[in-house]
Structure 1
Amino acid sequence: MTVLRLALVAAIAVGLAACGSGRPKTPPQQAPQSQQTAKMEKSEPREQAAIAPARPQEPVNDDPQQFMGLDQPGVTAIIGKPAMIRRDGPAEVWQYRGRGCVFDIFMYRKENDVFEVKYVDLRAPDLAEDQHRACLANIIRSNRPATS
C-alpha cells in the first residue's frame, strides 16, 4: 500500500511540474517614456473645455396676484398651458406644478361666456414662506410659451 501511495504522490508531482512552463515570468516590457507621452498627447486633448458660466435667470413677475381678472388667453400668455384642468361646479381650475409647489388658478364664467380668474392658490408645504414666489417664478419660466 505504501508503494501505491508513493506512486500516487509521484504522479501528482509530475503533473504539477508539467503545469509550469519552466521559464521565469517577466513583466511585459514597457514602451520608452517618450512613446508613452506621445500616445497620451494623441489621445488626450491638451486644453480642457471651458465650463460655460450659468445663464442668468430671466426675471419674471412672481406675484401670484398678477393673474387676477385675466381671461384664459391672458393666463396662457404668461404661464403657458396647465398640467391639469379640473371643472369644479361653476369653476374651472388650472393647475401648474413645480418642484416643491403647486399653483392653482380658479376661473369663473362671466356673463359673456368668458372665464375670468377670481382666485389663485400657491401651495408649497415643504418650502419656507420666502421661497414660495421663487417656486412660482420657476413654474412660469419652465411653462411659458417660447417667444420668437
Structure 2
Amino acid sequence: MTEPAGLRHRPRRPFINPEITLIAAVILAPLGLSACGLTPAPTPTTAPPPSASPPAARTGPVLAAKPPSAPKREYPALSTLSGMTPVQVIGLLGPPRFKRRDNPAQIWQYRNKACALDLFLYQAGNGTNYKVRHFETRGGGGITGTACFTGLLQEHENRRPG
C-alpha cells in the first residue's frame, strides 16, 4: 500500500509528555505520602453545640459545696450518771424540771413527751456534797432507758443557745 504523496506518516506523539509525568511524580509522591499518617485523625467531641446566647452571669451569692456530714454524735451511756455531782448533771442535762428534797436525798426529774428520768442524789460521806446514787427511767411504748437518756440529751443540746 502506498500512501498518497501529500500525506506523510508522522510518528505519534504521546498525549502526556513522559518527562512532565516523571517530574510530577517526583514532586507529588512525597506530598501524598506526608498526608498519610503523620497526624492522627481528629476525634469527634461530644461537646454540646454552642448556644445562641452566652450564659447569664451570676449575680447572687455562690453556694459552696455541702461539706461532708459530721460523724454521728456519740452520747454517753446512761450508767455515766452514777456518781455525778449536781454541777456535772446540770452541765450534761441542764436544770431539772422537778426537784424535791427528802433528807437525806434529793430527787431530780427530767422528762420529755416520751419518758421521764428520775435521779436520786444522796449526800457523800462528808454530809455536804450530793452525788447520783440511783436513777430510773420510765416511759410508754417500750422505750429503753438508753433511748430515754439520749432523747433528753438531744433536747438539752437543741435548747442551748449558739
TM-score (norm 2): 0.49
Structure 2, unaligned runs of 5 or more: 1-68
Q: CA RMSD in A?
A: 2.6
Report Cα offsets for 1:29-58 as digits up to 9, x if no partner: xxxxxxxxxxxxxxxxxxxxxxxxxx9896
Deviation, 1:91, is 0.6
Report Cα offsets for 1:95-148 as digits up to 9, x if no partner: 000122100111011115110110010111x2225x442232111121257376
Q: Percent identity?
A: 23
Check if 1:63 corresponds to 2:77: yes
2:148 aligned residue: 135
Structure 1, unaligned runs of 5 or more: 1-54
Aligned with 1:123 (options 133, 138, 151): 138
1:74 aligned residue: 88
Aligned with 1:99 (options 113, 119, 125): 113
Residues 1:143 and 1:127: Cα distance change in structure 2 (over 3 Å): same
**Which protein is richer in helix relative to its size?**
1
Residues 1:128 and 1:106: Cα distance change in structure 2 (over 3 Å): same
The AA in structure 2 aligned to 1:88 is D
Residue 62 of structure 1 contacts residue 134 of structure 1 at CA under 8 Å; is this kept in 2? no
Residue 117 of structure 2 contacts residue 138 of structure 2 at CA under 8 Å; is this kept in 1? yes
Q: Distance in 1 between matches of 2:72 and 2:90?
A: 18
After the TM superposition, list the runs of 4 or more consecutive aligned residues in structure 1 that deviate by more than 6 angstroms: 55-58
2:12 aligned residue: none
Residue 120 of structure 2 contacts residue 134 of structure 2 at CA under 8 Å; is this kept in 1? yes
Residues 1:109 and 1:134: Cα distance change in structure 2 (over 3 Å): same
> Computing the radius of gyration over CA atoms, which structure comes out larger, 1 or 2?
2
Residues 1:134 and 1:76: Cα distance change in structure 2 (over 3 Å): same
Deviation, 1:65, is 1.0
The AA in structure 1 aligned to 2:112 is G
